[in-house]
Amino acid sequence: MKHIAESTVRRLSLYLRFLEEFETQGQATISSGELALSGGTTSAQVRKDLSFFGSFGKRGLGYGVRDLIGSIREILGLHRSWSVVIIGAGKIGAALAQYRGFTQRGFNVVGVYDKDPSRIGVTLDDITVRADAELERDIQRLKPQIAVLCVPGDAAQALVDRVTKAGVKAVLNFAPAQIHVPKGVTLRAVNMATELEILAFGLSHPEERAS
């Protein structure tokens, strides 16, 4: 298969959310134009995004909402469930551990870890914070594919090294640090400072703002 751009995957995720909304509203069929409108893109873009993976529509008619939901879920890899460990049970880690959107979308939080003895044993909804010393053993046992990193910046790289060595194949990094992963591991980073700085840039250069 050809290389797929991240922007395409991001839009597919967006389409999926809209399609689910259309489905709950009982709409059976949808055109690329309608879908484009919800997502702020163009009909050609929607069709091109889908065309990388196959032909899902009927000419003259559009896409079956239910079918397209199934196809996109399949494309994104949501036809199965994924196991997630959250590393760092501070404010953000705890908030994520209790975030219902995770489970709702098939991402099961199988463990939350912290180094701080005062956090270990704390219960977050139905999950108990464990000692970070247990990480390797638990990863070998529970085989989570994804680690979500919510620790201070200076602890981030060492923990990523540990979890990837133990077999984690994808990392979502909320720590304010640039981290590196071995080849074969997928990495994404959400950096609050960068998001705010992009906003500040937009505020400072109103003549050429993106939105």
> Where along the sequence are the contacts to a copy of itself (CB under 8 A)?
1-4, 6, 9-10, 12-14, 16-18, 38-40, 75-78, 82, 84, 91-92, 94-96, 98-99, 101-102, 105, 107, 145-146, 169-170, 172, 176, 178, 180-181, 183-188, 190-211
Residues between 40 and 59 that touch DNA (CB under 7 A) = 41-45, 47-48, 50-51, 55-59
CB nearer to a copy of itself: give 134 or 197.
Answer: 197
Binder of residue 184, out of a copy of itself, DNA, none (CB less than 5 to 8 A by kind): a copy of itself
Residue 30 C-beta-side C-alpha neighbours within 13 Å? 27
Measure the CA–CA gap between 102 and 37, rounded to whole angstroms.
Answer: 27
Neighbours of 40 (CB within 10 A): 9
Q: x/- site string to DNA, residues 61 to 100, per CB under 7 A? A: xxx-------------------------------------
Instruction: Give residue 173's Cα distance to chain centre.
Output: 11
Coil, strand or helix at 168: coil
Measure the CA–CA gap between 123 and 112, rounded to whole angstroms.
Answer: 10
Neighbours of 58 (CB within 10 A): 11
Residues that bind DNA (CB under 7 A): 3, 5, 7-8, 31-33, 41-45, 47-48, 50-51, 55-63
